[in-house]
Structure 1
Amino acid sequence: MTIAALSPAEARVAIDAGARLIDIRWVDEHARERIPGAVNLPLERVGDLPADGRPIVFHCKSGMRTSANAAQLCAAAGDAPVYILGGGIDGWRKAGQPTIADRSQPLEIMRQVQITAGTLVLAGVLLGLFAAPGFFGLSAFVGAGLMFAGVTGWCGMANLLRIMPWNRRSPA
């Protein structure tokens, strides 16, 4: 199913005319940076969207999540006209539209996973080369964990990072 994509300028006009802007990103992503007036309703909860007949503009970070889940978004919107913000919040920002950024919020969990996994793989390789070959197993373990996360949708590292003290702040 395909949903019409609006440019940031077209989306601004639609929002000013009464369309609802729904951010389907995770709560931590929305807390770190958001479009003014956007309502955060993560993709896994988009079925809770109240129907009021007004047009809906869905957005994510880059537009890929919204495009990939078009059928689910259309179903959640009911009979309301549905649009996607082309390029997501990244495109919105590049077009010079305003965002609210709160850099005091923790980095998004997926960025934390990428940083942690990259650090562990690099450490495993360097330790394997310069200390003991057994450390190559660390890189293999992290790689296997990332493959498992990709196949199952469950990421142990993300779950572990989510409960770390720096991630316990309440979202804005």
Structure 2
Amino acid sequence: MTSSPTPLALATDQARTRLHELTVIDVRTPAEYASGHLPGALNVPLGRIRRALPEIRHAAGRGDVLVVCASGARSESACKLLAEQGVTTATLVGGTGAWAAEGHDLHTPAACDTRAGWSMERQVRFTAGSLVLLGLLLGLLVHPAFQLLTVGIAGGLVFSALTNTCGMAVVLGTLPHNRPRAADLDATLAALRNR
């Protein structure tokens, strides 16, 4: 990889052949990470990238860093953030979804090591659907103005699709079940320092 501030992208086959030499950082939530991740990937959720910056910079100084997420959108955001800080990284095109679709193995920790959870995409669908139903119900039973909640959610979904961002995912990512345990993040940061 070069020292270009523009995030680079690796296809799944390129990443697979270089996996042994890459430091892989998975920026999904701990629950998503536990549901299956690239072999050897370390979990630093997107919201914790700034805290992990010194360790990621250290790892990047010793070798190439690949950032992954479910689809590639969050990892691309992480790569841009890191590039602004002078850290060159690459993103996995299509994320773990593309990795699995190509037939590559995902590592799933032993059951005692994981927290059951839903993917962020599933959490967003559930929350958006619940809020739409709530807005419609309250609009019918309490006051029609509550239907504006439904309009707001619909507008947010359209904006999300047009910008390839998701404000609801950002908010959901801050909930306790989506944050890493302090000990887990500390262990990950120590592993990055030792790379």
Matched, 1:2 2:6: yes
Higher helix share: 2
Higher-Rg structure is 1
Cα displacement string for residues 123-172 of structure 1 (whole angstroms, at most 9, x for unaligned residues): 4425645xx362661x434665896x949x973xx389x358xx79978x
Unaligned runs of 5+ in 1: none
| Secondary structure, counterpart of 1:57 in structure 2 | strand
Contact 1:56/1:77 (<8 A) preserved: no
Give 2:42's match in structure 1, choosing from 39, 43, 67. 39
Q: CA deviation at 1:10?
A: 0.6
CA distance 1:77–1:89, shift in 2 (3 Å): farther
Q: How is 1:63-142 mapped onto 2 (pairs within 5 angstroms)?
A: 63-74=72-83, 78=87, 82-101=89-108, 105-108=116-119, 111-126=122-137, 128-129=139-140, 132=141, 134=143, 137=146, 139-141=147-149
Q: Percentage identity across aligned positions? A: 28
Return the alpha-carbon distance in structure 2 between the equivalents of residues 90 and 2 of structure 1: 23
CA distance 1:73–1:144, shift in 2 (3 Å): same
Q: CA deviation at 1:28?
A: 2.5
Q: CA deviation at 1:98?
A: 0.7
Q: CA deviation at 1:29?
A: 1.9
Specify which structure has the bigger relative contact order, considering alpha-carbon pairs within 8 angstroms and separated by 6 or more residues: 2
Return the alpha-carbon distance in structure 2 between the equivalents of residues 124 and 69 of structure 1: 34
Return the alpha-carbon distance in structure 2 between the equivalents of residues 9 and 119 of structure 1: 39
Q: CA deviation at 1:86?
A: 1.1
Return the alpha-carbon distance in structure 2 between the equivalents of residues 141 and 54 of structure 1: 48
Give 1:23's match in structure 2, choosing from 23, 26, 30. 26
| Secondary structure, counterpart of 1:21 in structure 2 | strand
Q: TM-score, normalised by structure 2?
A: 0.61
- For this pair of structures, how many residues does the alignment match? 158
Contact 2:31/2:119 (<8 A) preserved: yes
CA RMSD of aligned residues (A): 3.8
| Secondary structure, counterpart of 1:34 in structure 2 | coil
| Secondary structure, counterpart of 1:5 in structure 2 | strand
CA distance 1:163–1:25, shift in 2 (3 Å): closer
Q: TM-score, normalised by structure 1?
A: 0.68
Read off the aligned partner of 2:131 and give its amino acid letter: L
Moved more, 83-92 or 68-77: 68-77
Contact 2:45/2:179 (<8 A) preserved: no
